[in-house]
Amino acid sequence: MTEEEGEEEPLEAPEGVRVGLCASCSNAKTLETKIGATIYLCSLAAKDARFRRFPLLPMVACEGFERRPDQP
């Protein structure tokens, strides 16, 4: 069924919901791939093997989480 036939497009979740804690963490850096996808790099992984370089998302709990000052 197409949108013209009455099916609505699925709603996309806000970024913070899809990404979890990484969306507001000062240790997370965003990178854009060649195809335009956004991925999250954890800077703690360079110093501490407990952290994944590219965390599985959504991240709902993390010992290294530090809220960015610009986030409520």
What confidence tens digit (pLDDT) does each residue in 47-65 have?
A: 999 999 999 999 999 999 9
Return the H-helix or E-strand segment holding 48: none
pLDDT confidence bin for 18, thresholds 50/70/90 = confident
Q: How far is CA 31 from CA 11, 22, 23, 25, 46, in A?
A: 24, 13, 12, 14, 16
| pLDDT value of position 1 | 46
- Mean pLDDT check: name the lowest of 4-8, 38-42, 56-60: 4-8
Least Cα distance to 55 among 33, 37, 34, 29 occurs for 29
Q: What is the pTM of this model?
A: 0.73
Torsion sign, CA atoms 8, 11, 40, 62: negative
Cα angle value 8/13/17 (rounded, 5°)? 165
The two three-digit tokens of residue 26, written as one number:
């000062």
Q: What is the mean pLDDT of the chain?
A: 85
